[in-house]
């Protein structure tokens, strides 16, 4: 009798974060260490939304804002590296005088479920507060339930009906007040 191969997926435990191996870098949009963030976001957007918006929608979204909007003094782009590899990141830009808009929140697909999204949010929140912003605004797509849960668990307030079908809403907006310094 021959043994049958096991067809059940073996759960993989994500490797815990080791702060000694991490660095958080403030970079300009054209820095090559940002490229993995943008490339994987384009694939993610095309995979999730290409049937709705067409296959150029990801590039259009990623090029919607000039790179200068993510530079000091009103914006920032952060990349988290582990042992020199870009594994997570995010950015913000000025939304209005008191509000920063978070954009490009990303965790490399091979490094998800390690707390990197929370780390990126915390770093962006701290930097936005240090730059004088008192509030954050962001949107995520209706086909990104993990992002929705990340923002809710991080204290962001949904600006939409949480009981409604996300596909009927469109972009899901969130806000968060920052502590006063």
Helix orientation angle between 145-153 and 116-130, rounded to the nearest 10 degrees: 50
Q: Is 12 exposed, middle or buried (0-12, 13-18, 19+ CB in 10 A)?
A: exposed
Contacts of 89 (CB under 8 A, 6+ apart): 34, 37, 77, 78, 79, 80, 104, 105, 106, 120
Question: In the numeric block, which tokens belong to residue 95?
Answer: 């939304």
pLDDT at 41: 83
Range 78-99 average pLDDT = 96
pLDDT at 8: 43
The band of 62, judged by pLDDT with boundaries at 50, 70 and 90, is confident
The band of 93, judged by pLDDT with boundaries at 50, 70 and 90, is very high
pLDDT at 161: 96
- Where do the DSSP E strands lie in the chain? 22-26, 76-82, 85-94, 99-107, 135-140, 157-158, 172-177
Read off the DSSP letter of residue 111. Answer: G
The band of 95, judged by pLDDT with boundaries at 50, 70 and 90, is very high
Q: Are 150 and 121 in contact (CB under 8 A)?
A: yes
pLDDT at 57: 67
Contacts of 126 (CB under 8 A, 6+ apart): none
Range 133-152 average pLDDT = 95
Q: Is the pLDDT of residue 88 over 60?
A: yes
pLDDT at 9: 45
Q: Are 134 and 178 in contact (CB under 8 A)?
A: yes
Q: How far is CA 57 from CA 13, 47, 60, 142, in A?
A: 34, 11, 5, 15
* Mean pLDDT score across all residues of the chain: 88
- Of residues 160 and 38, more confidence is placed in 160
Residue-wise burial string across 28-45, b where 16 or more C-beta atoms lie within 10 A, e elsewhere: ebeeeebebbbebbeebb
The band of 50, judged by pLDDT with boundaries at 50, 70 and 90, is confident
> How far is residue 131's CA from residue 181's CA, in Å, rounded to a whole number?
10
Share of the chain above pLDDT 70, in %: 87
Q: Are 100 and 137 in contact (CB under 8 A)?
A: yes
């Amino acid at each position: 009798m021959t043994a049958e191969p096991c067809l059940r997926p073996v759960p993989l435990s994500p490797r815990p974060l080791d702060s000694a191996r991490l660095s958080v870098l403030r970079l300009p949009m054209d820095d090559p260490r940002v490229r993995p963030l943008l490339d994987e976001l384009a694939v993610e957007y095309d995979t999730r939304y290409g049937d709705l918006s067409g296959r150029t929608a990801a590039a259009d979204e990623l090029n919607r804002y000039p790179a200068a909007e993510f530079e000091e003094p009103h914006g920032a782009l952060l990349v988290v590296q582990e042992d020199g590899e870009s594994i997570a990141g995010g950015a913000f830009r000025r939304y209005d005088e008191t509000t920063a808009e978070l954009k490009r929140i990303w965790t490399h697909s091979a490094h998800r479920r390690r707390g990197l999204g929370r780390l990126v949010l915390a770093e962006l929140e701290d930097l936005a507060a240090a730059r004088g912003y008192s509030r954050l605004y962001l949107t995520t797509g209706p086909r990104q339930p993990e992002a929705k849960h990340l923002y809710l668990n991080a204290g962001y307030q949904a600006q939409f009906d949480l009981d409604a079908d996300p596909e009927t809403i469109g972009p899901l907006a969130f806000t968060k007040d920052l502590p006063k310094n």
